[in-house]
Amino acid sequence: MFEDLRDLYQEVILDHGRKPRHGAKLAAYDATARGDNPLCGDRITLWLQYTPAGAIARAGFEAKGCAISIASADLMAEIVAGLDAGAARALADALQTLTKTGAPPTLDAPLAERLARLMPLAGVHEFPSRVKCATLPWHALRAALAGTENATSE
Partner 1 sequence: MNTATRPAAPPAPFDVEKLRADFPILTQEVHGRKLVFLDSAASAQKPRAVIAAMTAAMERQYANVHRGLHWMSERTTEAYEGARDAVARLLGAPDRHEIVFTRNSTEAINLVAHSYGRGVLAPGQAVVISEMEHHSNIVPWQMLRDAHGIELRVTPITAAGELDLAALARLLADGKVGLVALTHMSNVLGTYTPAARLARLAHDHGAKLLLDGSQAIVHRAVDVREIDCDFYVFTGHKLYGPTGIGALWARRDLLERMPPFLGGGDMIASVSFARSQWAQVPHKFEAGTPPILEAIGLAAAIAYVEAIGYSAIAAHEAHLLDHALARLAAIPGLTIFGRAQDRGGVVSFTLEGAHPHDVATLLDRQGIAVRAGHHCAEPLMHRLGIESTTRASFGLYTTVAEIDALAEGLLRVSEFFA
Nearer to partner 1, 70 or 76 (CB): 70
Q: Site for partner 1 (CB under 8 A): how many residues?
A: 27
Nearer to partner 1, 42 or 74 (CB): 42
CA dihedral 62, 90, 109, 60 (to 10 degrees): -10
Position 89 contacts partner 1 (CB under 8 A): no
Would you list the DSSP string of 76-134? HHHHHTT--HHHHHHHHHHHHHHHHHSSPPP--HHHHHHHHHTGGGGGGGG-GGGHHHH
Bridge partners, residue 63, by sequence: 44
Nearer to partner 1, 35 or 85 (CB): 35
Tell me which residues in 5-64 interact with partner 1 (CB under 8 A). 5, 8-9, 14, 36, 38-43, 64
Tell me which residues in 93-112 interact with partner 1 (CB under 8 A). none
Q: Are 132 and 153 in contact (CB under 8 A)?
A: yes
Measure CA 115 to chain center: 11
Tell me which residues in 60-79 interact with partner 1 (CB under 8 A). 64-68
Q: Interior CA angle at 93 toward 103 and 13, to 5°?
A: 60
Task: Name which position in 28, 109, 129, 147 contacts partner 1 (CB under 8 A).
Answer: 129
Residues that bind partner 1 (CB under 8 A): 1-2, 4-5, 8-9, 14, 36, 38-43, 64-68, 127-130, 133, 150, 152, 154
